[in-house]
Structure 1
């Protein structure tokens, strides 16, 4: 079964990369084949579907869908463009930095759901390609999410498994390298797309002359949207104290806003159409397909061999975990890999390894930054691709790979130096 599961997954991945058919169809067929040939049964498959992630996505998509009718995103677009003097190169950096900061204190999926509509509003007004901005925001969201306990799912899992690693410890240990990586990446992205970041002076003048306040179409709905969104964000900060999953917070905020907005059939139908169902079903297929690798032991065998190679040495283990988690997380979803690595690292502690902190930080850095490697490496990547496709902009697997993978390697190299100098010398 292990060989069969591996073959099915590789074929599915090849089809996704080739883009001959839509990735949702490829992932769905891959998951179904795993079920048809008996790699895993339906109950086990459902166990591997991360409903917390799916609920978070749907809830935030509902919130964004209703809020988009208020004109808020156009307002933010004009405000940000005017602060940057309507200069595309500045706008690229401003939006990238905003995305990274928000991703650290919200989650990166929520952040890109809010930022993509803003990006399209700005680029349409200046008649420039949104592609450099979208790619920058994908990468910035994953880097920013690395900096805190709540920014990215792998960090949440690590914090839960190692409760001695507090919220402030994540910031103290991960934020410095995350934001150093960010500034390096901002410089690279601005240099890489400099020739595309030009617009006409008259378009800049038109943007600077606009009254941002006139972009708001429905002040009453805006007030309700901001209330629901603020309540949801507060919920994200306090959900551990409340004992609630982040998906319940997001879904609660989404349906509360639908209720406050009137709850009419037309509103609900219009809002549900704004949910990226193709992306949701892609995640379901991917979770099940990766579940097949987990159930047959492929991921466990890979992680176990990696730990055995190091002989329990903290320095070697930390650097190997950093690079292994980065490479694997760039081609698989990082959540099941981190879930497999956590008990293996805990076992090292049980075997007498006294200082596991460098290993935990290496796992967090590798899993979060590794998500920048490919289009399927992280949830935020796929959300941006789905929202862009809905607006007629196609981010292909290979187009993203040429930018994302080298940047991922660079950030992992910088992280290697950071981990070695700070913890292992």
Structure 2
């Protein structure tokens, strides 16, 4: 009976989350409230258990990074980088797109991709306005790049944070295993840009002069704050990289960094808290409780057994199956709830595979499939939804199908490149 309730609550909640008929935070919290109210899980399960409760490491890592980025945003450094890229490209629309794509991808690896999109989009539209060209291709290219680049590190994309916490994978683990394939994917993505957005790079030479007249230094609003924020962010990233030596969890590092930066910058609470996405944090909390109910009632364990039987214990088949299914499903529904749901299932599968290299490959296939699959449709990743909102407010709306026509192609390409990488690295040369 408890399992049936857990499944029903989760399935109904998932439908509302996927269709966006109701705010996803409200749906997640309502679902969590129901499984708590009927006794499927108790407070001990929901708030104190690592297996069935809220993953506080994920919540506080996101909170700390949101505060750091909120302070960094006030310096104008992202606007500086965008204008600098446009000028270095000599006003060429294609070169501007490639540079902005690379900046977006690199920034998304060390900041979350939603924040990067929020910061880079307004300046992109400024540059496109000066060149009198349509911003839509540039905005689409940037959000696709943010989802690719965000896959490179533990903190780049929210699904990675969930995977890292569930699988016990460190910042360095992600950097060593994900960054190489992301670098390859970005090269491939840059090469297909002229074909993918053909017809979007015609510009009036007189407009080029307007862009070259922009002064990127004027974008920096507070150079002293930039120095402080840059130093703190660098220290946080170093601590992430030295996580295994320092024996300090990334969530603790992010919170310490946020606290130090708030003190150094003397930023007012209403300023640094304005950048915290409370809805996202509460959404995660509710989702973890609902998934915990599925774990406690044995639903996840049963699904893992079915998956193991379907693959016959073949690790390579399991890796490729997870990669393909993750890419497909993450394109239809938001990749955050998908990964949060799949993590316990993959953990159960990984525990049944004796070779540690093969079992770890399951996690990388989940991360690659979910991160790259998020590009497939306009609702596949949070960054996509944010970018479409920015475009609509600016008077240049991007339709669901306009985005999906480009995103689906990029998803297919990136998954096809990722598959041989997983096979060669973890099964041929392991």
**Interval of TM-score (by shorter of Structure 1 and Structure 2):** 0.7 to 0.9
Once the two structures are TM-superposed, the CA of residue 307 in structure 1 deviates from its matched residue by 1.3
Once the two structures are TM-superposed, the CA of residue 123 in structure 1 deviates from its matched residue by 1.9
Query: Which runs of no fewer than 5 residues in structure 1 stay unpaired?
Result: 350-354
Q: Please tell me whether residue 413 in structure 1 is matched to residue 416 in structure 2.
A: yes
Counterpart position of 2:84: 79
Equivalent residue for 1:211, pick from 198, 204, 215: 215
CA 1:52–1:385 in 2, change beyond 3 Å: closer, same or farther?
A: farther
Residue 123 of structure 1 contacts residue 130 of structure 1 at CA under 8 Å; is this kept in 2? Answer: yes
Q: For residues 22 and 167 of structure 2, what CA distance do their matches in structure 1 show?
A: 38
Q: TM-score, normalised by structure 2?
A: 0.78
Once the two structures are TM-superposed, the CA of residue 83 in structure 1 deviates from its matched residue by 1.9
Q: Please tell me whether residue 280 in structure 1 is matched to residue 281 in structure 2.
A: yes
Q: Please tell me whether residue 124 in structure 1 is matched to residue 126 in structure 2.
A: yes
Residue 333 of structure 1 contacts residue 376 of structure 1 at CA under 8 Å; is this kept in 2? Answer: no
Q: For residues 143 and 118 of structure 2, what CA distance do their matches in structure 1 show?
A: 10
Q: For residues 149 and 36 of structure 2, what CA distance do their matches in structure 1 show?
A: 37
Deviations 1:55-79 (A, max 9, x none): 2222222222222222222212211
Q: Indicate the RMSD between aligned Cα atoms, in angstroms.
A: 3.8
Q: Please tell me whether residue 95 in structure 1 is matched to residue 95 in structure 2.
A: no
Q: For residues 179 and 71 of structure 2, what CA distance do their matches in structure 1 show?
A: 33
Q: For residues 32 and 159 of structure 1, what CA distance do their matches in structure 2 show?
A: 27
CA 1:340–1:121 in 2, change beyond 3 Å: closer, same or farther?
A: same
CA 1:231–1:419 in 2, change beyond 3 Å: closer, same or farther?
A: closer
Q: For residues 169 and 232 of structure 1, what CA distance do their matches in structure 2 show?
A: 16
CA 1:383–1:178 in 2, change beyond 3 Å: closer, same or farther?
A: closer
Q: For residues 123 and 78 of structure 1, what CA distance do their matches in structure 2 show?
A: 11
Residue 148 of structure 1 contacts residue 170 of structure 1 at CA under 8 Å; is this kept in 2? Answer: yes
Deviations 1:163-191 (A, max 9, x none): 9xx958973x6555433333334445554
Once the two structures are TM-superposed, the CA of residue 407 in structure 1 deviates from its matched residue by 3.9
Q: For residues 146 and 13 of structure 1, what CA distance do their matches in structure 2 show?
A: 24
Query: Which runs of no fewer than 5 residues in structure 2 stay unpaired?
Result: none
Give secondary structure in 2 for the equivalent of 1:85. coil
Give secondary structure in 2 for the equivalent of 1:75. helix
Counterpart position of 1:65: 70
Once the two structures are TM-superposed, the CA of residue 23 in structure 1 deviates from its matched residue by 2.5
CA 1:356–1:326 in 2, change beyond 3 Å: closer, same or farther?
A: farther
Counterpart position of 2:369: 369
CA 1:6–1:148 in 2, change beyond 3 Å: closer, same or farther?
A: same
Counterpart position of 1:305: 306
Counterpart position of 2:232: 228
Q: For residues 372 and 61 of structure 2, what CA distance do their matches in structure 1 show?
A: 21
Once the two structures are TM-superposed, the CA of residue 364 in structure 1 deviates from its matched residue by 0.6
Residue 142 of structure 1 contacts residue 371 of structure 1 at CA under 8 Å; is this kept in 2? Answer: yes
Which one is further off, 216-225 or 186-195? 186-195
Residue 112 of structure 1 contacts residue 137 of structure 1 at CA under 8 Å; is this kept in 2? Answer: no
Q: Please tell me whether residue 320 in structure 1 is matched to residue 328 in structure 2.
A: no
Once the two structures are TM-superposed, the CA of residue 305 in structure 1 deviates from its matched residue by 1.2
Deviations 1:294-327 (A, max 9, x none): 3333333222211122332344344334435555
Once the two structures are TM-superposed, the CA of residue 395 in structure 1 deviates from its matched residue by 8.2
CA 1:368–1:318 in 2, change beyond 3 Å: closer, same or farther?
A: closer
Q: For residues 25 and 40 of structure 1, what CA distance do their matches in structure 2 show?
A: 19
Counterpart position of 1:360: 360
Residue 89 of structure 1 contacts residue 194 of structure 1 at CA under 8 Å; is this kept in 2? Answer: no
Residue 107 of structure 2 contacts residue 116 of structure 2 at CA under 8 Å; is this kept in 1? Answer: no
Deviations 1:219-259 (A, max 9, x none): 22222222222222222222332222212222222221221
Counterpart position of 2:8: 7
Which one is further off, 300-309 or 39-48? 39-48
Q: How many matched pairs?
A: 409
Q: TM-score, normalised by structure 1?
A: 0.79
Give secondary structure in 1 for the equivalent of 2:373. coil
Residue 57 of structure 2 contacts residue 165 of structure 2 at CA under 8 Å; is this kept in 1? Answer: no
Q: For residues 187 and 255 of structure 1, what CA distance do their matches in structure 2 show?
A: 42
